[in-house]
Structure 1
């Protein structure tokens, strides 16, 4: 009887690589290749009627033209500053609103069925397109809209409020409406993982509700807060539809600038702008990731 152990083969060792190969190919074809193409096009020369494969830094020089004087910022710096303001305002509003809703669902709704029902209720606006949800604000915030009619009717204002629609306020409001769920979901997921015995221990130690919230719940929810922050900041930084519709085509953003450059067939310039935007967003993500190591927390 042969008791010799079967010889080891290299095939089982590489089997996991074969399992990951389909996903790697999809990622390579649909993400890495288009990204590299955008980077390549950003260095192409161009004329009014053709793209010329080659290498030039003129597109980046055009973007940064006149940016040497910080006292009078150039167009791209003003646009990035405006976009960053939108991102920070939307991030702050969605963080407060998403955290409050997630806290209520996780700690004040005891029934799992009720949690599910309320969570589904929060997702109902996502059953329609973003454009429809944005347009729904027009009858409410317009000059002759419901909000202005109510304010005029109760005598709080003497004439319609102009800044409710097609303004920075309406853009931020639309961002909060559209993207709060991207903040709520990861925070709620983190809160549901918190051991409830920790809350009881904090209460037994004499901690007040606010102390428990700040010293126990917030630190243990930081992974969800970070993930939601990355979602909201990255989406708002590149958004151009919301800014165009709710800003009345009068407010600049980086995404809107790229969209306009593309519509005028300035593809190398738009690609260079997209590369700069990608670099800025990656720096924001790296800065956020330094606060919490997602690889350890997830």
Structure 2
């Protein structure tokens, strides 16, 4: 053997290292082309100037100052703060509701359905709404929630109300309802996956120790499901925070959100201003994700 050549073990290690990098190359290229470069361009454009006819490359903070202009008085919040509060409100409400529903459904599938075949069947049943587009699923609520819809007509015929309820549609209620309908599955899947990985002997040990059902749930199941809960929370919060279609359709174009503001700004060709809003929204969402990932080390748990 040549004295200058590496030993066989080191050669095999180097070979595996190169193979791993080669395998990661395709997804790295996709990540670079369709995420990092567009994100960098958005950040760059957010510092440009513009007029009614063109974008003016350069460096200016006018777009960011315009977004927060008049926001120093917290007793009378500016439009930007009210818009972000509205978006955060929807994000937190939908997160809380989907967490309760998703955890309940996942718990039922994982611990109360004994047959694997039935678990698979019921799990597939939960995915049926995803067989149609989001817009169709949103529109399907309108014949139910409208002033002359099925819900109002049924309540009137039963004598529960005398006049139709206006807040059922084109309101915060309808927006939250549509969000929950659309995105609960994103909470069910990771929580169900975490629950299926729980060693059932731990639950039997808790029962043998005299723990009640609630004690077992709180001290055994929930701690072992933290990874699924955090992953599902990240999915739901990031989607809701950037959504503008659902708020536009179910809110009747009357409810503000950051995503809706960005859409309107792009329609009026205010691309630098829209880019600045997108950067700020990204920072807010990343801060929320960072806070969630502090609760559990997802990479270690996975």
User: TM > 0.5 between the two?
Assistant: yes
The 5 A counterparts of 1:218-297 are 218-297=222-301
Q: Given the alignment of the two structures, is residue 27 of structure 1 paired with residue 25 of structure 2, yes or no? A: no
Match for residue 137 of structure 1 among 135, 141, 145? 141
Map residues 1-298 of structure 1 onto 2, 5 A cutoff: 7-8=5-6, 12=15, 13-298=17-302
1:184-223 deviations in Å (ceiling 9; x for gaps): 0000000000000111111111111111111111111111
Q: Deviations over 1:8-56 (max 9, x none)?
A: 3696253432332222111111110000000000000000110011111
Shift of 1:90: 0.3
TM-score (norm 2): 0.95
Q: Specify the SS of the correspondent of 2:75.
A: coil
Residue 6 (structure 1) shift: 9.3
Structure 1 distance, partners of 2:3, 2:141, is 73
Q: Structure 1: which 5+ runs fail to align?
A: none
Partner-residue secondary structure (3-state), 1:191? helix
Task: Find the aligned partners of 2:134 and 2:235 in 1 and give their Cα distance.
Answer: 16
CA RMSD of aligned residues (A): 1.4
Aligned to 1:249, the other structure's residue is in SS state coil
- Tell me which moved more, 210-219 or 31-40: 210-219
CA shift at 1:295, angstroms? 1.5
CA distance in 2, matches of 1:229, 1:239: 15
Q: 1:195 to 1:11 in 2, by over 3 A?
A: closer
Give SS of 1:231's match. Answer: helix
TM-score, structure 1 normalization: 0.97
> How big is each residue's C-alpha offset from its partner over 1:109-168, in whole Å with a ceiling of 9 and x where there is no partner?
000110000000000000000000000000000000000011001111010000000000
Which segments of structure 1 move beyond 3 Å, counting only runs of 4 or more?
A: 3-6
